[in-house]
């Protein structure tokens, strides 16, 4: 009988610890979906585009371990080369240079592309050599060459937009490498979901549990500490035992237990009322 519980608890522990790998938090399960379901537009620097990795050929590009569908960046136009089917721009944002291809839409090209040597633009927007442009598109590669398949290349006229873009790119980079803002200091809005979703993995398991715990009720904390310190076997402690040891009504213990269970810091073992700490 004990053997069964041992198996069960080790299963529970293992299941809780694994499942989500750091850095994999926003890959869809199984990784079967491609660009189609990922409609995000991520602010980046040219350097990030050049550094983007591809786990295997034809896979979506990844930056900071997260799949990127579309990217947005701003930089100076260093070269414009117009061909019959596309216009290729060389964009330099100070962090690197990348080629951007904008396919010419034949329906709009007819009425817009009247001046030789000028880029076909939509309406009055005209890109100038060494002027700034705002590009959004997706990362492509052809042979060993990386380029941007652009959906839109427009001139940029406000310098604040350029600067805030660089700051946004930094924020998003930090989001993916360090987790959401506010999760670093313990407590506050760090809800139990962190532990459940694996977001806490970045910080080590212990910190993650403390973080989840910080936002919980006093009773929940007491229960957690009791489970941590009280001698017990693999199946943990029964709710009634906890209630009597802490001298707290069973209903309150049940409610606090729900909290802890929901956050994934404890798990139920032999039945719904017996809990043990989920160790990573």
Partner 1 sequence: MSLQTPRILPSHLHAFHPSSASSNTVRILGTVTALHGATGTLTCGTNGDVTLILKSDARLQVGKLVEVVGKVADLEGGQGYGIRVLGSTEWGDPADCDYKIYENVVNATHKFKSIFYE
Q: Which is nearer to partner 1, 96 or 121 (CB)?
A: 96
Does residue 130 interact with partner 1 by CB under 8 A? yes
Does residue 92 interact with partner 1 by CB under 8 A? yes
**b or e along 225-236 (b: 16 or more beta carbons within 10 Å of the residue's beta carbon)?**
ebbeeeebebbb
Q: How near is the Cβ of 45 to partner 1 at its closest, in Å? A: 5
Q: Which is nearer to partner 1, 40 or 158 (CB)?
A: 158
CB-based burial label for 1 (10 Å; 0-12, 13-18, 19+): exposed
Q: How near is the Cβ of 190 to partner 1 at its closest, in Å? A: 23
Residues 207 and 185: their CA atoms lie apart, in Å, by 10
Give the residue carrying structure tokens 């009988």: 1
Task: Determine which residue in the list 107, 160, 229, 247 makes contact with partner 1, applying CB under 8 A.
Answer: 160
Q: Running DSSP on this structure, what letter comes out for residue 84?
A: S
Q: Which is nearer to partner 1, 49 or 150 (CB)?
A: 49
Structural tokens at position 55 = 């786990």
> 2 with 233: CB under 8 angstroms?
yes
Task: Determine which residue in the list 169, 237, 242, 263 makes contact with partner 1, applying CB under 8 A.
Answer: 169
Q: How near is the Cβ of 156 to partner 1 at its closest, in Å? A: 10
Q: Tell me, by CB under 8 A, how many residues bind partner 1.
A: 26
- The number of beta carbons lying within 10 Å of the beta carbon of residue 178 is 13
Distances (CA, A) of 68 to 36, 59, 169, 234, 247: 11, 11, 13, 43, 53
Does residue 163 interact with partner 1 by CB under 8 A? yes
Does residue 170 interact with partner 1 by CB under 8 A? yes
Does residue 10 interact with partner 1 by CB under 8 A? no
Q: How near is the Cβ of 223 to partner 1 at its closest, in Å? A: 41
> 45 with 169: CB under 8 angstroms?
yes
Q: Which is nearer to partner 1, 44 or 277 (CB)?
A: 44
> 72 with 44: CB under 8 angstroms?
yes
Does residue 45 interact with partner 1 by CB under 8 A? yes
List residues near partner 1 by CB under 8 A.
Answer: 44-45, 47-48, 50-51, 76, 92, 94-97, 130-132, 158-160, 163-164, 166-167, 169-170, 173-174
């Amino acid at each position: 009988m004990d053997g069964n519980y041992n198996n069960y608890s080790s299963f529970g522990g293992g299941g809780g610890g694994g499942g989500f790998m750091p850095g994999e938090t926003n890959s869809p399960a199984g990784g079967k979906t491609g660009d189609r379901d990922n409609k995000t537009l991520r602010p980046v620097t040219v350097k990030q585009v050049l550094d983007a990795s591809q786990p295997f050929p034809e896979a979506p590009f990844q930056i900071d371990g997260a799949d990127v569908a579309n990217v947005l960046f701003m930089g100076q136009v260093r070269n414009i080369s117009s061909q019959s089917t596309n216009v290729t721009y060389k964009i330099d944002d100070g962090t690197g240079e990348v080629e951007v291809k904008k396919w010419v839409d034949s329906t709009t090209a007819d009425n817009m592309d009247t001046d030789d040597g000028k880029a076909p633009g939509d309406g009055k927007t005209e890109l100038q050599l060494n002027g700034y442009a705002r590009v959004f598109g997706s990362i492509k590669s052809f042979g060993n060459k990386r380029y941007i398949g652009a959906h839109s290349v427009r001139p940029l006229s406000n310098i604040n937009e350029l600067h805030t873009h660089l700051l946004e790119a930094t924020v998003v980079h930090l989001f993916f490498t360090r987790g959401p803002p506010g999760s670093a200091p313990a407590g506050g809005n760090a809800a139990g979901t962190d532990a459940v979703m694996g977001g806490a993995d970045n910080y080590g398991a212990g910190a993650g549990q403390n973080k989840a715990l910080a936002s919980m009720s006093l009773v929940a904390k007491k229960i957690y500490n009791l489970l941590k310190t009280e001698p017990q076997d693999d199946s943990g402690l029964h709710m009634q035992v906890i209630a009597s040891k802490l001298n707290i009504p069973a209903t309150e213990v049940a409610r606090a237990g729900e909290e802890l269970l929901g956050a994934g810091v404890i798990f139920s073992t032999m039945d719904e009322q017996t809990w043990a700490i989920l160790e990573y």
